Structure 1
Amino acid sequence: MLKIAICDDSRSDVERLEQAFDELHHSDVEYDVYFSAAELLQSLERHEDKYHVYIFDIEMPQMNGLELAKKIRERDAKALFVFLTGFSHYVMDVFDVITFDYIAKPINADKLESVLQKAISYLNLTRRDFVFQYRKNHFRVNCDDILYIEKKGRQAGIHTISDDYKTNMTTEEIWKQLDERVFCHIHVSYILNLGHVQAIDGDEVLLDNGERLLIARAHKQALKEKHLAFMKRKV
C-alpha cells in the first residue's frame, strides 16, 4: 500500500487532485489531506505517521512547501517529495531539498499516474531483504535500512539504522543479495548504501546518521558516477 500525504491550502486544487486519484487504476494507494504545513507536522508528531510520498503545494502561507519538506527531511531521510506549482522558476529550489518529482498545474490523472508509477518502481527497487546468519541464528533486515557493510577478514559487520550485526559471509555472497544500482564499494572493506549518502566530502562520505567513511582513491570516481545515477533515478 502506497501511503501519501497531500498538503495544499487551496481547496480547489485539493479537489482536482482527489478527482485525479479517483481516475487512477491503482487500488493500493491511500492518501490523507492536510490544508496547512502546521496541520501535517502536528499529525506527524502526534501519530508518528509514516508516508511513502508527500505531495505539497509550494505556495502556502506561514510555511511554504520547500520549508515543510526541509522539516520532514530532518525526521525522514527517505521521504519522497512531489511538488505542485504553476511557477517554473521554483524548479531549481525544489531540487535543493532532494525532491522526487515535480507536477505543473493544472493537475490531471495522467500526470499523477506517471509520478506514482515512478514512486512505486523506486520503492520496489530499494525495499528488499538481506538474509544472513550468525552462530546458528538467522536474521533478515531490509536492504534500505543498511547503512554500510564492513568486511574484516572472514567476518562482515552489517550496520543498519537501528542495529549492528555480524555474519561470516564472503564479499561474493554479500553482493548476490545487493542491488548494484543502490550499493557501491568505496573501499576494499566497505560496501555503502547510496540511499544514506548525505554528502561526498573530499576523501570521505558523510552518511545521514553523521558517520564518515573513507573513500579509497581507486573507488572515488565509480562512487561519484553511481551516486549521480542513483539521484537521477530519484528525481
Structure 2
Amino acid sequence: MKLAIVDDNKLEQELIFNTLRTYEHERNISLDISSYSDGNSFLNTYVPGDFDLIFMDIYLNELNGIDIVRKIRQMDSKVMIVFLTTSKEYIFEAAPFHFFDYILKPFESTQIFHVLDDALALLPEQEAELSFEYRSFDVHFPLSKIQYIYSNNHEVIIHTTNGTHAFRLPFYSVTDHLDDSRFLQCNRGIMLNMDYIKTMESDYFEMTDSKCFPIKTKGRKQIREQYIKYQFLKLEEA
C-alpha cells in the first residue's frame, strides 16, 4: 500500500510515520510511505494513482488540508483521504470530498491501525514481496519475479525476470525474510524459485535460463522430494 503523510509539524509527521512502521512490522506487510511538509510541494508532484491513502493535516502554513483535497479530487476520485487534525470543526466542510476517516489529534495507534486494516480490505490483494533494508533504503522484490538467489564473493545476487541485482550483504540477512513455499534452498548460499526450475537431474537443478545449481549431498533426497511434492501440489491446484 502506498501512503502519503502531509503535515508541516515535524514531530507530528514523525509520530504518524513511526505508527505506520509499527503497523507494518506487526502485520508483516510492506508499506511505501512518503512524507510532505507543505501542501504546495505535495500538489506540485501529485499524480493520480501514486497513492492509495493520504493522511492529511488540515492546519498547514499555506494551503489548508481541505483546499488541497479539493484540488486532488478534481483529478483523483479514488484515493482514500484520512484527515488528521486537532479540531473537529472542519468535519462538515470536509464531508463533500468523501474522506475515508477523520481522526482527531492526539490519536491512538489503534485508530490508525483500524483505518489501515479497512483500507487494505478495500484494495486489490498485494503481491507477496521479498523486503529488506540496504544502506538505509527499503528494497522490495515481487516473489513471482525472483528466479534464484545466491551468494558470491560476499555479495547476494538476486536474479529476477527483470535483471540481476547485487547487494553486499550476508546471504542469511536476505533469505531470512523469505518465507514462501515456492522457494527451495538446494545448497549453501543458493535459493531457487521452483517455478523457474526447468529440470531436476540427480545432483543439480537446471533453471529456465539454463543456469545450473548443484544439490548438496547431505539431505539431497529430502531436497528432491520437496521439489517433487511442490510440483504435484501445483498440478492439483491447476
Query: Normalization by structure 2: what TM-score?
Result: 0.48
The structure with higher relative contact order (CA 8 Å, sep 6+) is 1
Q: Which has the larger radius of gyration?
A: 2
| TM-score, scaled relative to structure 1 | 0.49
